Amino acid sequence: MPRAAAFFDLDKTLIEGSSAIHFGRASYRRGLLSRRQLVKDLWANVQFRLRGATDEETDLLRQRVLDAIAGHRVVDLARLGPEVLAGILPRVYPQMLEVAWNHQDAGRPIYIVTAASQEIAELLARVLVFDGGIGMRSEVDDGFYTGRPDGPFTYREGKAQAIREVADREGFDLSESWAYSDSESDLPMLRCVGHPVAVNPDTALSRVAREEGWQIVTFDRLRRRLRLTAGAVALGGIAAGSGYVAARLRPSRRDRMWRALRA
């Protein structure tokens, strides 16, 4: 009998912000990335968190990653894993982990589907106890990265293609499966399953989700903080607004417990 599965985008869906910046920081410390490029990536990360990424920006990021790793040993980049995880894991949304694990407990395998590298996707899948990770594959020759892609880019239609390939291989019924994402760019991924969910959606995805009656989940802390602050400034009460923001953003008991467990 066909089974259902659940597929989760990574950036701004499973984690707050972008995973790419943590790979960039680790690469910079290992001498694989210049300080100038790191600063550009930091700014790009802020912009991504506020408004998402355009197709052109994502394509440039993909090519930059491929160029950066060209000629490097696979084992050397694998050794970046602990430092990359140190940046990503504190930004995992505990709420989304519970959603994912609930699917798993109900018998639905769970997968990370991301435009980040296959190595990052698989590493996070192991650490977060997912059933698999699907990411961008880079060509390897004799233990070295060539700087060329090895398969479709897992972005836009590429994510949907990857999901369909997994479904065919594992016997999943996509009409009974779930997908979670924050971005309009993942509409192909969301529309290839029977149960799409918009998580911290950008403006375009939020509009589509409302029109099509999809579930919407929102809890991105940075965006909420900026919106509350902007509202306080508009009212002319910066000081009062700061107190209001602090009160609204005070961590719940559950959040404090989660942070204590991660400490």
pLDDT tens sequence across 122-181: 999 999 999 999 998 888 999 998 888 787 788 888 899 999 999 999 999 999 999 999
Share of the chain above pLDDT 70, in %: 68
Same domain, 39 and 55: yes
| Structural domain span for residue 258 | 221-262
Same domain, 67 and 163: yes
- The continuous run of DSSP H or E covering 144 comes out as strand 144-149
At residue 236, the pLDDT reads 36
Same domain, 228 and 203: no
Q: Across 58-62, 123-127, 221-225, which has the greatest mean pLDDT?
A: 123-127
Same domain, 245 and 164: no
Question: Who contacts 156 (Cβ-Cβ below 8 Å, separation ≥6)?
Answer: 55, 185, 186, 188
Q: Is residue 49's pLDDT more than 70?
A: no
Residue of 83, 50, 52 whose CA lies nearest to 155:
52
Same domain, 170 and 45: yes
- Asked if the structure places residue 78 within a domain, the reply is yes
202 is catalytic: no
- In tens, the pLDDT along 21-47 reads 777 677 767 666 666 766 666 666 556
Same domain, 144 and 170: yes
At residue 205, the pLDDT reads 95
- Asked if the structure places residue 231 within a domain, the reply is yes
Note the pTM of the prediction, 2 decimals.
Answer: 0.75
Average pLDDT of span 57-69: 70
Q: Is residue 252's pLDDT more than 70?
A: no
Same domain, 41 and 108: yes
Same domain, 70 and 127: yes
At residue 35, the pLDDT reads 66
- And the tokens for 245? 């923001």
At residue 58, the pLDDT reads 64
**CATH number of the domain encompassing residue 26:** 3.40.50.1000
What backbone torsions phi and psi does residue 52 show, to the nearest 5 degrees? 85, -175
Would you give the DSSP letter of residue 15? B
Task: Say if residues 159 and 113 touch (Cβ distance below 8 Å).
Answer: yes
Same domain, 118 and 189: yes
- Asked if the structure places residue 239 within a domain, the reply is yes
9 is catalytic: yes
Same domain, 44 and 58: yes
Q: Is residue 262's pLDDT more than 50?
A: no
Same domain, 211 and 227: no
Torsion-angle region of 129 (φ positive above 0: left; ψ -120 to 50: alpha; else: beta): left
Same domain, 78 and 207: yes
Q: Is residue 231's pLDDT more than 50?
A: no
- Asked if the structure places residue 1 within a domain, the reply is no
Q: Is residue 239's pLDDT more than 50?
A: no
Total domains, the chain: 2
- In tens, the pLDDT along 4-26 reads 999 999 998 999 888 877 776 77
